[in-house]
Structure 1
Amino acid sequence: MSAADRFTATYLIETPLDPRKVAEIMAGEQSSGTFTRVAGETDELRDRTRAVVISVEDLDSAAEPSLPNAWLARKGVEGPWRRARITLSFPVDNVGPNLPTLASIVAGNLFDLGEVTGLRLESMALPVAYRRLFPLPTRGIAGTRRATGVMDGPMIGSIIKPNVGLRPFETAELVGRLCAAGLDFIKDDEISADPVHAPLAQRVPAVMAAVRRHQDRTGKAVMVAFNITAETDQMRRHAELVEREGGTCVMVSLNWCGFSAVETLRRSTSLALHGHRNGFGALSRHPLLGIGFQAYQTLWRLAGVDHMHVHGLQGKFAQEDGEVVTSARDCVTPLADGIDDRVLPAFSSGQWAGTAQPTWDAIGHDDLLFMAGGGILAHPGGPAAGVASIRQAWAAVAAGVPLSEAAKSHDELAQALAFFGKSGG
């Protein structure tokens, strides 16, 4: 079986046993094997369907296990607790174009194996032919630029605040003000989907009326990501409503809707799918448990999302800047050679004009969505000045001009640097 017929997954494991033995157990458990050979498990079947170990890289060891393990405790197995990086190769034909099953193979019962006290899926690599079995983004980076009319530089966005509580007409009024402030993108908060006080059936028409009025006045089409997170059929109906009202984007809380629901939604609409990753911390924050972002975004890109949240540099969440940077790079790296399936990295959380410089320095491009809540709405000159300060900051860093220098000729940027307490330059 050639490499074109197989995909690979790389893991970080911790175990008191021989990592090579554990790697073989992992390969068997997630393909044709179990803890013992069974009837019908012929050599031919194993050759055709078994996962194989590609590599085992020994790392460090620890005096204490990262996670509890009753299986090892019953057997009286003690440390040291050896760590290793393992790469497994799986036959594509074991899965086919079945995303939930793919996820269960690379990230299923492995987390419960008795032989490990830590296991983390770090990355995946797919052959070209297999990638082509899944949908591509309908909008992605280029399509989002066309929809917003922003062909150069970052797309600047904000989030509707307060998170919840605004009625439909109040939400529409705020969206109108944000459009007038010069934004390219506006989104619902992830905790506000279809509340009783602002149901989507009323909120979408009200908001889109404000968006159309702004477009009629200025020619600018602002993209609004309506949070339609719900049961699958409800999401499809909400997406249809957004399309009827002339909208271009919907937002989904990926982890709580699931692969099947998002795949169904993708097949049902050509709207941009803004993938919100809330809950990802539960999957990723422990260094020896869960799923790293490269593998996580690979699975969700196979579902057909167009935008992926990566948090933000120097932001309010727990992730280190290095993780944010690698996440953004993952989004703009094709999953297979010759296929443009890049998705738009969405930066958010604590972003403002001053974080433009470290973002540019780290990733070196502006194919991104740069979202700021307080960095726009709390600007002392008002939302329009907040948007202007961010645009001024990005123009400066792209030109190689320190923000402190650019602020001398841009009042909005100068106010932002003074008010938010960092020079950024």
Structure 2
Amino acid sequence: MVERIEADYLVETAHDPRVAVEVMAGEQSSGTFVPVPGETPELKERSAARIEALEIVGERAEPSLPGASHPDGRRILLARATLSWPLANMGPSLPNLMATVAGNLFELKQFSGLRLLDIRLPAAFAAAYPGPKFGIEGTRRLAGVEGRPLIGTIVKPSVGFSPAETADLVRLLAEAGIDFVKDDELQADGLHCPFDERVRAVMRVVNDHADRSGKKVMFAFNLSGEIDEMRRRHDLVLAEGGTCVMASINAVGLSGMIALGRHSELPIHAHRNGWGALSRAPALGFSYVAFQKFWRLAGADHMHVNGLANKFAESDESVIASARACLTPMFADKPCIAMPVFSSGQTVRQPPATFAALGSTDLIYAAGGGIMAHPDGPAAGVESLRQSWAAAMAGIPLETHARDHAALAAALGGRS
């Protein structure tokens, strides 16, 4: 039996949908815009993409994207299409998989909209790539947190602090009982806060706090850079006793992430900054359900999914679908589960709806103002989030739980 890769798409076209999707299948496998010598029936049987499913699901009054051809008198139709390719076309290669399922097809003039919705991969990919080395279980073990979400935050201001000022903030947060802290994605190795100095300063604080309290705060250091830089930075974090590193996945690219995933002995916190450019136009780009599979397989242990009632443009439904996708196994023998990271304007108010929709506490819940702006200080901010999650998990309304939980009451009172 020939192993095949499958990809689901939402397409928009004024052409006959089957003819348009046949063009896409040819463009992304053995064909081109005209017949060529050598494209024999035998070659097509061996290497051509196949249309596995095609369903008309709607209609558009106007084209979503410019540049598409529009035959006179033709309606603009929406369809769901599934294509498949033989694994032999590319082998178990994530970069070449990306080029196949999300390459030139976005530029075809037959389409005024095209979006990758999902992918399904043969087991050869599981064998070829590390996947998350720590995932949920390893992250919980290193952070010392069970039975509830990890409560986390982000270093703010995003840039401008020195290593010493960053360490001072981490000391405050550690004493407040925080589980997880991350660099902002804008802070990597700037002149005001060099990576090596920041790691050493922060880890002195983290290690000292762990020695005194028995709790080691997980800090995700942003090591984004060229491959050799990331490996060296990872090794420094490991040597200093760190328990997490972070990479901006769109910036370092698939090959960079794969190299880091193979090298890393620490959980990798995958930040998706730039994601909006790939997703915000509803008729173009990627669904996160498809996108996150590339990065989990490459080695991401944590994946950002935004948060409910967030400050960005993403809907709550999309956020929950993204988080569920991260928690859904990719292969029977290698689940490749990643821990979803909820952030962006998160406070004590979102946990009940988050838990009700996701049905899991296997997540990192990162809040900035929700911790730092609490009227009774950061320790009360951390405690208020734990109290909110406890109420959510027990099915108790926040206002009821707040009657005998002062930190939560203060946060709900509009003072945080």
**TM-score under structure 1 length normalisation:** 0.96
Supply the distance in 2 between the matched residues of 1:130 and 1:182 (Cα, whole angstroms): 40
Structure 2 residue corresponding to 1:333, chosen from 325, 328, 335:
328
1:56 pairs with 42, 54, 59, which one?
54
Q: Return the match for 1:356 from 322, 328, 351.
A: 351
Q: Distance in 1 between matches of 2:126 and 2:263?
A: 20
CA shift digits 1:281-306 (9 cap, x unpaired): 11001111001101100111121111
Q: After superposition, where does 1:38-187 map in structure 2 within 5 Å?
A: 38-69=36-67, 72=69, 77=72, 79-187=74-182
Superposed displacement of residue 78, structure 1: 5.8
Taking the aligned partners of 2:136 and 2:342, their CA distance within structure 1 comes to: 14
Which amino acid in 1 is paired with 2:256?
A
The answer to whether the Cα contact below 8 Å between 1:275 and 1:309 also exists between their aligned partners in 2 is: yes
Q: How far apart, CA to CA, are the structure 1 residues paired with 2:333 and 2:227?
A: 32
Alpha-carbon distance, 1:353 to partner: 1.2
Deviations 1:317-341 (A, max 9, x none): 1101000000000000011223221
How far has the Cα of 1:79 moved from its partner?
Answer: 4.2
Q: Is the contact between residue 277 and residue 309 of structure 1 (CA under 8 Å) also seen in structure 2?
A: yes
Structure 1 range deviating more: 92-101 or 136-145:
92-101
The equivalent residue for 1:24 is 22
Contact 1:16-1:77 within 8 A present in 2 as well: no
CA distance in 2, matches of 1:163, 1:143: 28
**Which residue is equivalent to 1:10?**
8
CA distance in 2, matches of 1:79, 1:164: 53
SS across alignment from 2:158: coil
Instruction: Report the counterpart of residue 37 of structure 1 in structure 2.
Output: 35
Between the aligned partners of 2:366 and 2:125, the Cα distance in structure 1 is 34
* Alignment check: 8 A CA contact 1:92 1:130 kept: no
Residues 357 and 420 of structure 1: is their aligned pair in 2 closer, same or farther, counting only changes over 3 Å? farther
- CA shift at 1:77, angstroms? 4.8
Residues 276/170 of structure 1: CA separation in 2 closer, same or farther (3 Å cut): same
* Percent of residue pairs bearing the same amino acid type: 52
Q: Which residue of 2 aligns with 1:206?
A: 201
Task: Give, in whole Å, the separation in 1 of the partners of 2:219 and 2:189.
Answer: 15
SS of 2:128's equivalent in the other structure is coil
Q: Normalising by structure 2, report the TM-score.
A: 0.98
Aligned partner of residue 36 in structure 1, secondary structure: coil
The amino acid across from 1:50 in the alignment is A
Alignment-derived partner of residue 404 in structure 2: 409
Pairing 1:315–2:313 present: no
Residues 297 and 336, structure 2, Cα contact 8 Å, conserved in 1: no
Deviations 1:185-244 (A, max 9, x none): 100011111110010111100000000010001000111000111122111111111111
| Equivalent residues in 2 for 1:291-306, closer than 5 Å | 291-306=286-301
1:361-380 alignment runs, 5 A limit:
361-380=356-375
8 A contact 1:13–1:119 mirrored in 2: yes
Contact 1:379 1:419 in 2 (8 A): no
* Runs of 5+ unmatched residues, structure 1: none
2:414 aligned to 395, 419, 425, which one? Answer: 419
For residue 288 of structure 1, what is the aligned residue in structure 2? Answer: 283
Q: 2: distance between equivalents of 1:153 and 1:199?
A: 34
Letter of the 1:308 partner, please give it.
M
Q: Does 1:278 align with 2:273?
A: yes
> In the alignment, is the contact (CA less than 8 A) between 1:228 and 1:235 conserved in 2?
yes
> Could you tell which deviates more after superposition, 337-346 or 376-385?
337-346
Distance 2:154 2:98 in 1: 31
Match of 1:116, SS? coil
Q: What do the CA deviations read for 1:139-178 (whole angstroms, capped 9, x no partner)?
A: 1111100110112111110111111111011101110111
Shift of residue 48, structure 1, vs aligned partner: 1.1
Verify the 8 A CA contact 1:380 1:419 in the aligned structure 2.
no
**Shift, 1:131, TM fit:** 2.7
Distance 2:249 2:309 in 1: 24
Supply the AA of the counterpart residue of 2:192: H
Q: Distance in 2 between matches of 1:17 and 1:42?
A: 26
Does the C-alpha gap of structure 1 residues 324 and 420 become closer, same or farther in structure 2, counting only changes over 3 Å?
farther
Q: Distance in 2 between matches of 1:78 and 1:98?
A: 43
1:228-272, CA deviations, whole angstroms, 9 ceiling, x for partnerless residues? 111221111111111111111111111111000111111122111
Corresponding pairs, count: 416
For each residue in 1:25-70, what CA deviation from the matched residue of structure 2 results, as whole angstroms up to 9, or x when unmatched? 1111111111222112122211111110001110211121111116
- SS of equivalent residue, structure 2 residue 157: coil
User: Bigger shift: 373-382 or 329-338?
Assistant: 329-338
Contact 1:62 1:81 (C-alpha < 8 Å) held by counterparts = yes
2:74 and 2:240 mapped to 1: Cα distance? 62
Q: 1:248 aligns with which of 239, 243, 246?
A: 243
Q: Secondary structure at the match of 2:146?
A: coil
User: 2:376 and 2:259 mapped to 1: Cα distance?
Assistant: 44
- Mapped to 1, the partners of 2:415 and 2:226 lie a distance apart of 40
